[in-house]
């Protein structure tokens, strides 16, 4: 799995949302590297600009589960995180 992220930046009077597109990552992984004419690699980082924070939040509400899929593996840090959260 690639590096999944969403980052929000404020640029003067606009908000810029950067995200990792999992569909592009998937296409990159599925390229046929055994032939000379494989599909080109595409940058999975995408960027969108919004005028208001309400637009950013509306976008995030729909995009967060796509851009930040839940991992299906357990990490050595899970136990430590649960202890820190008091669980």
Domain assignment present for 1: no
Residues 21-42 pLDDT 10s: 888 888 888 876 666 666 788 9
Q: Hey, what are 66's tokens?
A: 């796509």
pLDDT of residue 26: 84
Mean pLDDT of the chain: 82
Q: Identify the bridge partners of residue 15 per DSSP, sorted by sequence position.
A: 10, 50
- Give dist(CA 77, CA 83) in Å, integer: 10
Rounded Cα gap, residues 14 and 46, in angstroms: 16
Count of structural domains within the chain:
1
Domain membership of residue 44 (yes or no) is: yes
40 within some domain = yes
16 in a domain, yes or no? yes
Residue 15 belongs to domain spanning: 6-84
For residue 74, being part of any structural domain is answered with yes
């Amino acid at each position: 799995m690639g590096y999944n992220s969403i980052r929000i930046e404020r640029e003067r009077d606009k908000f810029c949302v950067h995200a990792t597109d999992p569909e592009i990552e998937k296409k990159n992984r599925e390229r046929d590297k055994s032939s000379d004419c494989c599909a080109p690699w595409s940058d999975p980082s995408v960027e969108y600009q919004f005028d208001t924070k309400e637009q950013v939040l509306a976008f995030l509400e729909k995009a967060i589960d796509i851009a930040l899929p839940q991992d299906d593996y357990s990490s050595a840090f899970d136990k430590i995180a649960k202890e820190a959260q008091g669980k």
